[in-house]
Amino acid sequence: MSARPLLRFTSGPLQAAIDKNVERRLKRFVQDAESEPVALFSPEARAASHGGDWYGEHIGKWLVAANKAVARTGDPELSTAIETVVDALAAWQEPDGWLGTYPVGSPARFTSADVAGQRTWDVWVHAWLVLGLLETGIPRAQTMAERIGGLVAATFRDGKHLVQQGNHAGLSSLVMVEPLARLAQATGERRYADLALAELQAAEQAGLPLLSARTGSDVSKIGTGKAYQILWCLVGMLEVGQVLEDDSIVTAVQALYDDVREHHLSPAGGPWGGIATHNEVFNPRGFFSPTGFVETCSSTSWLDLSLRLYRLTGEAAYADEAEKTLLNAVLGAQDANGEDWCYFTFANGRRNNTYHWACCKSSGALALELGAEMATDGLTVNLLQPFDAQLPGGQSLCLSSPQEGQYVLESDQPMTIQVRVPAWGKVGDSVVVRDGHIQADLQPGQSFTFECRARVGVHRRAHTVDHHGQEVVREEYVCFSRGPYVLAAGPEGDIHTPPTLRLSRLFPMNHVDEAGGEVELRPAGGRPISLQPYCRAGGPHDGAWRNTWFPVAWQ
């Protein structure tokens, strides 16, 4: 595991969310070998497990998130828990490398000759285990991951392929391509990446057009259109492309990424669904509804993919997408208690905390640690959220915001650092911006101060229905943003339906008042409406209601 800055956020909504996530989710959900997500793998629990469910994924996600938290904070309690979990899993791994939650002889095991047609999440669970074990940096954990990789390689050969088992047209097993690529990176053995490519080629032949994607490809038409699985496959493809130095694979990922960005995102930056055969699949292009579903797992994978593309290409647009998703879709799914999460969020609708074993609770916890990594890598500041950091080279770096729109950088040693200017920011005239970055030359005892003012944006959409070329339904909507935050309002008393706004078509911003730093809508002939960031609107708790899209009658 490469050296990362020790970092803590010092103020703002991200600071509160991440601190609560560590104390109330990561440290409580898993503590030792008797914690439920770990005990699932014990021989006793396996013997009674016949459901074929995904619950084993939680420990893999926890290992990834907890290790990122330890790398960021140095937390000794989490570090001890990680060692304990690795020891327990090592004791339960079978001689051939299998490490799942199903009993001996179960047809749901991916090694079973009868697995075809079974309800199974076995490959999926092993995929998360490989990622979690590799994240630890512990030698015996890497050995465990390699043994899983060896079993996968021994199983999927001679005409047997990942897409032949699991659900969603095999997408839920194809996600193994990322762990295989990560094994290739960790061990230096190209064979793992070659196997991942062979499985992607087999998926292509089975009707999953991932490798062949080009500009104009429609992600919603891949398999069942399952958003989480497809996005995780794209993450894996990106890693495979880098290991094999195959730019065509990266190009295919970028083509599908562009399709998601242009056609399949909510205003909060979450991949949305809700109208097709499954609530977690991408909606068809052109569909719009203010009550579309956004699954927290999908938001996490979209955030991960955006950050990896940013690190690979340096293109700021990817970082802008990651920031929007983190500060809206992810924060907007976490309960104020730091432990509970929404499975689905809605632009307009009620917050509903999900059940104990829901996948999204662990995905959300992971998303916050992925977002924390975004703040700085020691060379660039990518997130304008106040923090203190100790860089791998020994320098301290502090970003503060003494007043809205003003930022101050300080270091205890001479250093030069780049600050990414986000798309939403308007910097002061005295600041020089080159290639989307401000260069800060820091000296001990001196501060570097710059402005990056948030701008209010207005966004328009319409829900239309055509019949034989005739438009028979048209409902127009508007929503607002300020800086990186999508804005929303809570209900008006007991009335949850947002009022229809009368706004000037040519000058809608004339109806927006930013006095005192708060945003207030003042529609013609209507009462003022107070807008807050989506993550806070209506209250960050179960049962709260918020409205992001407002029906509009343009004047």
Query: Does 410 share its domain with 444?
Result: yes
Residue 10 has pLDDT above 90, yes or no: yes
Query: Does 549 share its domain with 460?
Result: yes
pLDDT at 517: 75
Nearest to 422 by CA among 487, 374, 480: 374
Name the phi and psi angles at 15, rounded to 5.
-60, -50
Copy the structure tokens of residue 531: 């807008």
Model confidence at 429, pLDDT cuts 50, 70, 90, reads confident
Mean pLDDT to the nearest integer, 176-188? 98
Helix 247-263 with 296-313: angle, nearest 10 deg: 130
Neighbour tally for 272: CB within 10 Å: 29
pLDDT at 276: 59
406: in domain: yes
**Amino acid at site 281:** V
> In this structure, are residues 270 and 345 in contact, taking their beta carbons and an 8 Å threshold?
yes
pLDDT at 414: 97
Mean pLDDT to the nearest integer, 138-163? 98
> In this structure, are residues 488 and 531 in contact, taking their beta carbons and an 8 Å threshold?
yes
Choose one of 401, 433, 451: the last residue of a domain: 451
> In this structure, are residues 387 and 398 in contact, taking their beta carbons and an 8 Å threshold?
yes
- Residue 536: which domain range? 456-554
Mean pLDDT to the nearest integer, 158-173? 96
236: in domain: no
User: What stretch of H or E contains 503?
Assistant: strand 501-503
Model confidence at 463, pLDDT cuts 50, 70, 90, reads confident
Model confidence at 2, pLDDT cuts 50, 70, 90, reads low
User: What stretch of H or E contains 70?
Assistant: helix 57-73
Query: Does 535 share its domain with 475?
Result: yes
Query: Does 487 share its domain with 549?
Result: yes
Copy the structure tokens of residue 112: 């079973």
| Number of domains observed in the structure of the chain | 2
Determine the 3-state secondary structure of 192 from DSSP: helix
pLDDT digits 0-9 by tens, 263-297: 999 999 999 997 656 899 999 998 889 999 999 99
Mean pLDDT to the nearest integer, 174-189? 98
- For the residues of 287-335, what is the DSSP string, one character each? ---TT-EEEHHHHHHHHHHHHHHHHHH--HHHHHHHHHIIIIIIGGGB-
Query: Does 501 share its domain with 460?
Result: yes
Residue 89 has pLDDT above 80, yes or no: yes
pLDDT at 277: 67
Choose one of 451, 483, 500: the last residue of a domain: 451
514: in domain: yes
Choose one of 451, 473, 503: the last residue of a domain: 451
Query: Does 550 share its domain with 485?
Result: yes
250: in domain: no
pLDDT at 257: 98
Query: Does 407 share its domain with 426?
Result: yes
- For the residues of 339-401, what is the DSSP string, one character each? S-BBSEEESEEE--B--TT-HHHHHHHHHHHHHHHHSB-SSEE---S-EEEE-TTS-EEEEEE
Query: Does 477 share its domain with 439?
Result: no
96: in domain: no
Residue holding tokens 């205003």? 267
pLDDT digits 0-9 by tens, 20-64: 999 999 999 999 999 999 999 999 999 998 777 899 999 999 999
- DSSP summary character for residue 441: E
421: in domain: yes
- Which residues, in sequence order, are CB contacts of 143 under 8 Å at separation 6+? none
Query: Does 445 share its domain with 460?
Result: no
Helix 191-205 with 227-243: angle, nearest 10 deg: 130
Query: Does 495 share its domain with 443?
Result: no
Query: Does 473 share its domain with 436?
Result: no
pLDDT digits 0-9 by tens, 340-383: 999 999 999 999 999 999 999 999 999 999 999 999 999 999 99
**Amino acid at site 107:** P
Model confidence at 515, pLDDT cuts 50, 70, 90, reads confident
Model confidence at 1, pLDDT cuts 50, 70, 90, reads very low
pLDDT at 465: 87
Residues of the chain with pLDDT > 70: what percent? 99
316: in domain: no
Query: Does 447 share its domain with 499?
Result: no
Biggest alpha carbon–alpha carbon distance for the chain: 74
404: in domain: yes
- Looking at every residue in the chain, the average pLDDT score rounds to 95
Nearest to 166 by CA among 120, 103, 112: 120
